[in-house]
Structure 1
Amino acid sequence: MTPPAVPSSPLRHLLTLEGMPREQLLALLDRAQHHADGHDDRQALAGTAVCTLFFEPSTRTRLSFQLAAQRLGADVLNFDVSTSSTRKGETARDTLRTIEAMGVRGFVIRHQDDGAVAALADAAAPGTALVNAGDGRSAHPTQGLLDMLTLRQAKGGDFSRLKVLIVGDVRHSRVARSDLHALQALGTGGIRVCGPRSLLPDDATLAGCTVSHDLDAALDGVDAVMMLRLQRERMDEGLVTSLDEYHRDYGLDAARLKRAAPDAVVMHPGPINRGIEITDEVADGPQSLVLQQVRNGVAARMAVLETLLRGD
Structure 2
Amino acid sequence: MKHLLSAADLSLDEITGILDLAEEMSQVQSRPVKKLPALRGRTVVNLFFEDSTRTRSSFELAGKWLSADVINVSAKGSSVSKGESLRDTVLTVAAMGVDALVIRHMASGAPQQAAQWVDAHVLNAGDGTHEHPTQALLDAFSMRRHFRASDPDVDWRDKTVAVVGDLTHSRVVRSNVLLLRTLGARVVLVAPPTLLPSGVHSWPAEVSTDLDEVLGSADVVMMLRVQRERMSGGYFPTPREYTVGYGLTRDRLARLKPGAAICHPGPMNRGLEISADAADSAASLVLDQVASGVAVRMSVLYHLLGGDDEGGTR
Matched, 1:114 2:111: no
Matched, 1:99 2:90: no
Q: Secondary structure at the match of 1:164?
A: strand
Partner of 1:8: none
Moved more, 173-182 or 235-244: 235-244
Partner of 1:288: 284
Tell me if the contact between 1:198 and 1:239 (Cα under 8 Å) persists in the aligned partners.
yes
Which of 101, 113, 130 aligns to 2:122? It is 130
Partner of 1:81: 75
Opposite residue 2 of structure 2, the aligned amino acid is R
Q: Find the aligned partners of 2:84 and 2:213 in 1 and give their Cα distance.
A: 51
Partner of 1:181: 178
Moved more, 40-49 or 199-208: 199-208
Unaligned runs of 5+ in 1: 1-10
Which of 127, 131, 142 aligns to 2:134? It is 142
Opposite residue 180 of structure 2, the aligned amino acid is L
Opposite residue 36 of structure 1, the aligned amino acid is S
Where do residues 1-312 of structure 1 align in structure 2 (5 Å cutoff)?
11-38=1-28, 42-125=36-119, 128-156=120-148, 157-188=154-185, 190-204=186-200, 207-233=203-229, 236-311=232-307, 312=314
Opposite residue 57 of structure 2, the aligned amino acid is L
Opposite residue 281 of structure 2, the aligned amino acid is G
How far off its partner does 1:207 sit? 2.8
How far off its partner does 1:99 sit? 1.4
Tell me if the contact between 2:169 and 2:230 (Cα under 8 Å) persists in the aligned partners.
no
Q: Secondary structure at the match of 2:162?
A: strand
Task: Say if 1:18 and 1:239 are closer, same or farther in 2 by CA, change over 3 A.
Answer: same
Q: Secondary structure at the match of 1:150?
A: helix
CA deviations 1:23-67 (Å, max 9, x no partner) are: 111111111111123387611111111110000000000000000
CA deviations 1:278-310 (Å, max 9, x no partner) are: 000110111000000000000010011001111
- TM (norm. structure 1) is 0.92
Q: Find the aligned partners of 1:25 and 1:258 in 2 and give their Cα distance.
A: 33
Q: Over aligned residue pairs, what C-alpha RMSD do you find?
A: 1.5
How far off its partner does 1:253 sit? 1.7
Tell me if the contact between 1:49 and 1:76 (Cα under 8 Å) persists in the aligned partners.
yes
Q: Secondary structure at the match of 1:18?
A: helix
Tell me if the contact between 2:177 and 2:204 (Cα under 8 Å) persists in the aligned partners.
no
How far off its partner does 1:20 sit? 2.1
Opposite residue 64 of structure 1, the aligned amino acid is S
Unaligned runs of 5+ in 2: 149-153, 308-313
Q: Find the aligned partners of 1:309 and 1:155 in 2 and give their Cα distance.
A: 30
Q: Secondary structure at the match of 2:28?
A: coil
CA deviations 1:79-134 (Å, max 9, x no partner) are: 02112111222111211121122221111100000111100000012xx1010000
Opposite residue 139 of structure 1, the aligned amino acid is E
How far off its partner does 1:182 sit? 0.8
Task: Say if 1:238 and 1:166 are closer, same or farther in 2 by CA, change over 3 A.
Answer: same
Identity of aligned residues (%): 45
Q: Secondary structure at the match of 2:197?
A: coil
Q: Secondary structure at the match of 1:14?
A: coil
How far off its partner does 1:264 sit? 0.5
